A and B are shown apart, each in its own frame.
Chain A
């Protein structure tokens, strides 16, 4: 009946009014102003029972601390300020003691000797403000590998706290330079990312240039002048075995591996002074021509997905960056700014292409997105050249030459944000760095 429907509706309405309670006003805030301060991390010396373990624990925690600090994203705290002296890894730390010294993260570790002569290294990573464990791992290894284990621990901490892959357990191949400026001896050398474990790969009897790491194997490719003309070689860094790449006439230079490590792209010069890009398949030994112009096309660098190649060319009058499909089609100019652009290097994560740029008598290292946008200069100076990416695509290494009769090149690294430029320690002058893929 309509009248009852009306009554029911009325009752419902009254009930709705009656049940209404005053709404509490929400405090809702937008925070938009962040900072780029490094994370304050406490890394006490790793624990150990015997004298050897204590010594190893100290060395390993120092390497972990040095690695994290060198990234610019972490600020290891002074150990003298620590209140709690950790003695048991299995017990949660006294967070209040670490909050007092403003630690945001805490790494505790222990080194112990195993019955078989190997050592076990373990660590725990704690979030101090939230009072929770973020990571815990252990590794067993030959004592000689302690440095690598420390790098691996630093990588794990970096990855857990930043969300990006670490790059501390990596190596760098570069050209070691000794002797006076007019009589430089240039040798291929390899070292850990932090400058340790330096080892020469060539004798220095012939000029060597542009070494590049294979992303997948123990091979490097480089340009050597040992036969007079520049030629591209392959070398196994474990065995030292060398091999000429392809049976090309004339000179070959500027080699680089494809992302799968199965092919090498390089430049083939002509007696007329032009150069085109070629590629050789390392399994079938077959070669193919990728560009065919009357200009100098060089410095090819594959995109990480293998679909495109960035390269430099002077076909428009001055050196500029270009992109093309891997089969050589759809060649188009990428750089449109002032100056001369060279040595494009595609980031392992694909979002940027690093380059060297000459402008107003200065050399700049910069990055640009593959669509031509977002060009940024990371560093500039008298002579900066040869950018190479860390395997996580976050950090670049390059070499910078100092002026004067006693000047020479040194290696530097810089964050993609343009911050945290640091010199990479090398015993002598060093140029043409090539960052290895992650070893672990």
Chain B
């Protein structure tokens, strides 16, 4: 064959090339193992029950996990349902919204601006503690507090607009699993990470902690009453430090022509900063920080708040 040799050289070179850049990069990663999924748990509230395995786990877990070994079709079904249940995500904006002081341009008689404020350090520097699991007592307390807040909130909103709370918002609330429930459960079958930075359960846990604090400490107070204000969604991105505090000021990812968008965006930024630091992250997610994860995107959606 006339081309036999070149083809052979090229193929061998390409395999070597691939091995050089890809295999070495993947050597450090832990082997990806199948995460057992409980097929009978199909509601969104149970999505955080995904379990990652741990070879060191006791053998009692083995039988239970084996029983829950999902069939491929069931897995697909669950995936589909998740896609259907989760609210549509806001479109990725072309550019970040600038939330710089817009008043300066319209002021009739402005003065010289004072020097730009220095970046402030977070209120409290959380102590650098070795990552440890939250004490059950603490979590129980938090759970109680959250329950109380939930009830009072429901009353407020229901009374506010004289509407029956929308069932969709109820399901959304259910989706917010308790940090205790979303804590990764180790069992035989593999490591807790899936090789993509964070496992689904870990993402859900981080989400639940941030969402829970914003809710429990009533940090988010969007502008209300203005025409159309309940339809202004704000998408923010921010980085977290190891101690759970927000690094810098969150950036606004979306834009809108709505008259109150600037105020809605500022209220969302205020919510994230007011609730910082998210202490439970420092104690529960210390190891995960080393995986390179540190940024969070939050969609503030007042339409759900008003039962829409």
Which A-chain residue is minimally distant from B197 (CB atoms)?
A24
CA distance A11 to B107 in the complex (A): 61
Given A17-B22, A39-B221, the answer on whether A376 and B161 have CB atoms closer than 8 Å is yes
Bitwise, B154-175 to A at CB < 8 A (1) or not (0) is 0010011110000001001100
Chain A residues numbered 131-184 whose CB sits less than 8 Å from any CB in chain B: 131-139, 160-164
Is the CB–CB distance between A31 and B121 below 8 Å?
Answer: no
From A91-99, A194-202, A236-244, A333-341, give the one contacting chain B. Answer: A91-99
Q: Which residues of B contact A91 (CB under 8 A)?
A: 114-115
Contact between B199 and A20, CB atoms less than 8 A apart: no
Is there a chain A Cβ closer than 8 Å to B203's Cβ? yes
Q: Hey, which chain B residues are within 8 Å of A95, CB to CB?
A: 117, 120
A129-B273 CB under 8 A given contacts A3-B3, A39-B221, A136-B103 = yes
B63 on interface, CB distance cutoff 8 Å: no
**In angstroms, how far is the closest chain B Cβ from the Cβ of A76?**
16
Binary CB contact string for chain B from 188 to 209 against chain A (1 if under 8 A, 0 otherwise): 0000001111111011001100
Which B residue's beta carbon lies closest to that of A419?
B160
Indicate the member of A15, A33, A417 with the most B CB atoms within 10 Å. A33
Q: What is the number of residues of chain A that contact chain B, defined by CB distance less than 8 Å? A: 69
Is A27 in contact with B299, judged by CB distance below 8 angstroms?
A: no
Contact among A131, A349, A415 for B120, CB-based, below 8 A? A131
Q: Is the CB of A137 within 8 A of B109?
A: yes
Flag if B123 contacts A96 (CB, 8 Å). yes
The reply to whether B221 and A36 contact each other, CB–CB distance below 8 Å, is yes
A401 at the binding interface (Cβ < 8 Å) = no
- Kindly state whether residue B27 has any CB partner on chain A within 8 Å: no
A130 close to B273 (CB less than 8 A): yes
A272 proximal to B (CB < 8 A)? no
A27:B295 contact, CB within 8 angstroms: yes
Partner of B269, one of A35, A92, A130, A135: A130
Residues from 19 to 43 in A contacting B, C-beta threshold 8 Å: 19-39
Residue of B nearest to A35 (CB): B218
Kindly provide the distance from the CB of B158 to the nearest chain A CB, expressed in whole angstroms: 11
Tally of chain B residues near chain A (CB < 8 A): 96
Q: Are A130 and B266 in contact (CB under 8 A)?
A: yes
Query: For the complex, is A266 an interface residue (Cβ under 8 Å from B)?
Result: no
Q: Cβ of A421 < 8 Å from any Cβ of B? A: no
Q: Cα distance A250–B259 when bound, in Å?
A: 47
| Chain B residue at minimum C-beta to C-beta distance from A347 | B227
Contact partner of A25 (CB less than 8 A), chosen from B198, B221, B274, is B198
Q: Is the CB of B160 within 8 A of A418?
A: yes
In the complex, the answer to whether B22 meets A129 with C-beta atoms within 8 Å is no
In the complex, what residue of chain A is closest to B89 when comparing beta carbons?
Answer: A28
B136 at the interface (CB under 8 A from A): no
Task: Determine if A164 and B295 form an interchain contact, defined as CB atoms under 8 angstroms apart.
Answer: no
Q: Taking CB as reference atom, which chain B residue is nearest A415?
A: B225
Q: Choose among B17, B103, B273, B300 the residue that contacts A160 (Cβ–Cβ < 8 A).
A: B103
Taking a contact as CB atoms closer than 8 A, the residue among A21, A31, A135, A417 that contacts B220 in the complex is A31
Residue A405 at the chain B interface, CB threshold 8 Å: no
A138 touches B203 (CB 8 A): no
A31 and B299 contact, CB distance less than 8 A? yes
- Contact call A32/B301, Cβ cutoff below 8 A: yes
Contact present for B111 and A24 (CB under 8 Å):
no
Complex contact A416–B301 (CB within 8 A)? no
Supposing A31-B298, A32-B301, A92-B114 touch, asked if A162 and B223 sit within 8 A by C-beta, the answer is yes
Contacts of B274 in A (CB 8 A): 104, 129
Give the distance in Å from the alpha carbon of A32 to the alpha carbon of B298 in the complex: 10
CB distance from A316 to the nearest CB of B (A): 25
Contact of B226 among A136, A137, A394 (CB under 8 A): A394
A18 partner residues in chain B, CB cutoff 8 A: 17-18, 20-22
**A27 CA / B208 CA spacing, docked (Å):** 10
With A7-B10, A36-B160, A95-B120 known as contacts, the answer to whether A25 contacts B203 (CB < 8 A) is: yes
A14 touches B (CB below 8 Å): yes
Whether the Cβ atoms of A135 and B103 lie closer than 8 Å is: yes
Shortest beta-carbon distance from B7 to chain A in Å: 6
* Residues of chain B with a CB closer than 8 A to A24's CB: 196-198, 292-293
Provide the bound-state CA to CA distance between A90 and B111, in Å. 9
B170 to chain A, nearest CB (A): 11
Say whether, besides A33-B173, A34-B305, A104-B274, A164 and B298 are in contact (CB < 8 Å). Answer: no
Chain B residues contacting A10 (CB-CB under 8 Å) are: 10-11, 14
A10 vs B262: C-alpha distance in the bound complex, in angstroms?
A: 51
For A93, the chain B residues whose CB sits under 8 A away are 117
> With A and B bound together, what is the CA distance between A21 and B197 in angstroms?
11
Q: Find out whether the CB atom of B262 lies under 8 angstroms from the CB atom of A27.
A: no
Q: Does A377 contact B (CB under 8 A)?
A: yes
Complex: A130 Cα to B118 Cα, angstroms: 11
Contact partners of B223 in chain A: CB under 8 A: 162-164
Residues in chain B near residue A314, CB distance under 8 A = none
* A residues 87-135 touching B (CB-CB < 8 Å): 89-93, 95-96, 99-100, 104, 122, 124, 127, 129-135
Is A417 within 8 A of B29, CB to CB? no
The answer to whether A351 has its CB under 8 Å from any CB of chain B is yes
Encoded as 1 (CB less than 8 Å from any A CB) or 0, chain B from 1 to 31 comes to 0010011001100110110111001100100
CB distance from B174 to the nearest CB of A (A): 12
A320 to B159, CA, bound (A): 26
Query: What 5 pairs between A and B have smallest CB-CB spacing?
Result: A32-B304, A163-B260, A129-B273, A163-B263, A24-B197
A-B contact pairs, 6 of them (CB 8 A): A22-B26, A25-B293, A33-B220, A136-B111, A138-B109, A418-B162
- 12 A-B pairs besides A35-B218, A164-B225 with CB distance below 8 A are A7-B7, A14-B17, A28-B296, A34-B220, A38-B221, A93-B117, A100-B123, A129-B274, A132-B100, A134-B266, A135-B107, A139-B109
